[in-house]
Amino acid sequence: MKNLIYIILVALLLSCSKKEADQPNKAYRIACNVWTDKEGDNYEVFTMNLDGTDQVNITNLEGVEWTYRAYDDQVLYISDRDTCNRCYFLYETDALGSQHRKIGGPQLRDSWMSTRNGGQEIIVNPKVDGDSAFYIINRSGELVQKIYTGLPYYSDPYFSPDGKEIVFRGSKKRFKANIGYQDELYIVGVDGSNLRQLTYYPEGDTTANWYSYHAGPPFWEPNRNVITYHSKQQGGSYLFQINPDGSGLKKLTPDSIPVGWHSWSPDGTMITFDSNTGENDEDMNFDIFIMEYESGEITRITSDTLFEQAPVFVEAMVK
């Protein structure tokens, strides 16, 4: 009897081991926007390994495709396919671009986005005549909720870790030259309550033009409950970190690397960002970098002539 039980246990262990061995492992890739044809205004979404190898064009369409969010192994991207030039709708695909699906919902503005409830709900910035709200939609594109901020300008919303608030880039002036426009980060409840300003651009700093990011698109990192953003200050562009209550402001990146759009890895260990590696503004060539958060060590993962921006982490299944 004991021998029979032993044989059954061994068989079960071997069966479980085989199933685990058959299961693919998860590995991070970087998805980013690539300007493939400047004259033809063609942008694609590429993914690559964390060392910059195995670059794959996962959209490969005419027109504009931009990603501003990934969740698990799905890349969310906006596209003007099948519509007018730069008239965007929301789509998703996997990390290698093997399957594409239109999520639907309203036409969208060019804006970063975020997810909550296990990726089942997405907050977007819609382009809807007569309405001035962020929309929370489900993965079928159906409206779940609207969030009115009350500000003349609002963009780039990101959910808090508990999904009850958002941080976003806003302004008390419309996005227009010579009227005092300046963007800052704001936090508001998803019911539109308790609007409060989070960032305050250094008084007397005139190095940012009106169209420059005083406070760039934010990322609310859930593992540490901190908010990060980039800002052009003192003649450079740096990544900053701040607590949701406005305390703990600090600069994360050195003066030697101008920082653009960024995002965090899901485990909170890495930040990826783009940087203009050209010698001047007329010689722009954006490449992708990864920074280890704890050590601050920065690695450049692309060194090519492609114009690569807005990197996000996405999971890929590997054997």
Least confident of 66-75, 119-128, 280-289: 280-289
Q: Dig out the tokens for 286 from the structure.
A: 């954006």
CATH 2.120.10.30 domain residues, the chain: 149-260
Separation CA 179–CA 189 (nearest Å): 28
pLDDT digits (tens, 9 = 90+) for 201-255: 999 999 999 999 999 999 999 999 999 999 999 999 999 999 999 999 999 999 9
Three-class DSSP category at 175: coil
Reported confidence tier of residue 285, pLDDT bands at 50, 70, 90: confident
CATH class for domain 149-260? mainly beta
pLDDT value at position 283? 62
Gap between the Cα atoms of 26 and 49, Å rounded: 12
Residues 74-130 pLDDT 10s: 999 999 998 999 999 999 999 999 999 999 999 999 999 999 999 999 999 999 999
Q: How confident is the model at residue 182 (pLDDT cuts 50, 70, 90)?
A: very high
161: left (phi over 0), alpha (psi -120 to 50) or beta: alpha
H-state helical runs in the chain: 2-22
Q: Which residues pair with 47 in a beta bridge?
A: 31, 56
- The verdict on pTM exceeding 0.85 is yes
pLDDT greater than 50 at residue 20? no
